[in-house]
Amino acid sequence: MNRTNRILSRVPIGIIVLGLGIQLVPYGRNHTNPPVTGEPKWDSPTTKALFDRTCADCHSNQTVWPWYSNVAPVSWLIQKHVDDGRKEFNVSEWGRRNNHGDEAARAVRNGSMPDTGYVPLHPEARLTDAEKEQLIKGLVATFGDAPQRQRGTAAQPKP
């Protein structure tokens, strides 16, 4: 067996060892959901149901953690998405400052939400055109609409 073949035969073993080793990194497996401290006054039960179906895993404290959220490096990516989503806009901590609910309709309208990586793994989050329009209208009715946000200013949540 020549040197190149010996090296190539060790590559799969190296990949397996690396894959097992990264499982020891603790980030991405703290799947506790903080308590719900407030919730917005939804304009309708339909808006809340559509939101729960498409947005709540990252934008609430009621995340459903799938089995693959325990496997690194996927767990790292999911944890970061949830942490970032909760920080930007969290319906379970309604009333806190800088809770950008008024940007929710715009994010759905322009297609940046739900995240493109989320929908294939969560087919229930796929919206028909009619459901998308209904969600956008409901989000505007619940949170308002901020087409453009000036840097450094934040709209206050609706009481």
For residue 147, what pLDDT is reported? 60
Residue 101 in this model has a pLDDT that exceeds 80: yes
Which residue would you say has higher pLDDT here, 120 or 152? 120
What is the predicted pLDDT for the residue at 87? 92
* Residue closest to 159 by CA, chosen among 94, 100, 81, 107: 94
Mean pLDDT lowest among 14-18, 64-68, 70-74, 117-121: 14-18
Q: Structure pTM?
A: 0.77
CA torsion, points 105, 109, 115, 117, in degrees to nearest 10? 160
Q: Where are the domains of the chain?
A: 3-143
Count of residues in the chain: 159
CA angle (100 as vertex; 55, 159 as ends), nearest 5: 100
At 3-61, the pLDDT tens digits run: 888 887 888 887 887 777 777 776 777 788 999 999 999 999 999 999 999 999 999 99
Q: Mean pLDDT across the stretch 117-129?
A: 92
Provide the 8-state DSSP code for 103. G
Mean pLDDT, rounded, for 83-102: 89
Report the alpha-carbon distance of residue 55 to residue 136 in Å, rounded.
12
Q: Distances from the Cα of 51 to the Cαs of 47, 92, 137, in angstroms?
A: 6, 12, 12
- Return the percentage of the chain with pLDDT > 70, whole number: 91
> Helix %, strand %, coil % for the chain, to 5?
55, 0, 45
